[in-house]
Structure 1
Amino acid sequence: MTYSLAGPGHARHRLVRLPGTRRNAEPKWDGFRALVSVDAGRAVLRSRRGTEMGPAFPEVVAGAVQPPDATVLDGVM
């Protein structure tokens, strides 16, 4: 099963006016945007670009097999 991350239009962020300009910016919180999907008892952790992140975060993958199949978690680590 294939899943994709929610796009920027789905989240509501407060825009901040950059001083001395006509530009706005969103706050950037440090961390990695990630998607965990569980299918057939196997958890897969991917970046927002689809890169496999499981080897870098084995504890997240190990804990992610607990939810039922067809579970998808989208968040920042």
Structure 2
Amino acid sequence: MSDPALLPGWAGEPIWDGFRALVSVDAGKVALRSRRGTGMGPAFPEIVAGAAQLPDATALDGVM
């Protein structure tokens, strides 16, 4: 089924099994945010703890 919001020749894939998030480490502080900027750290403390081991000035974008 085609999506009228997509341009001809483009394809899209919905994400039904996870959350899109950005994790960043700045001056030892970890921020986990949704693509709209909502803080997600309290809901995913294990990701925040793991990201604390990343080097400073790191930014990652992905699906979790």
Q: Could you say whether these structures have the same fold, taking a TM-score greater than 0.5 normalized by the shorter chain as the test? A: yes
Identity of aligned residues (%): 73
Residue ranges of structure 2 left out of the alignment (5+ in a row): 4-10
Matched, 1:52 2:39: yes
**Structure-2 separation of matches of 1:27 and 1:61:** 27
Residue ranges of structure 1 left out of the alignment (5+ in a row): 1-17
- Cα displacement (A) at 1:48: 0.4
What's the Cα RMSD here?
1.2
User: What residue number does 2:50 align with?
Assistant: 63
User: Which runs of at least 4 in structure 1 moved beyond 6 Å after TM superposition?
Assistant: none
Structure 2 counterparts to residues 1-77 of structure 1, below 5 A: 18=1, 23-24=2-3, 26-29=12-15, 30-77=17-64
- Cα displacement (A) at 1:74: 0.3
TM-score, normalised to structure 1, is 0.67
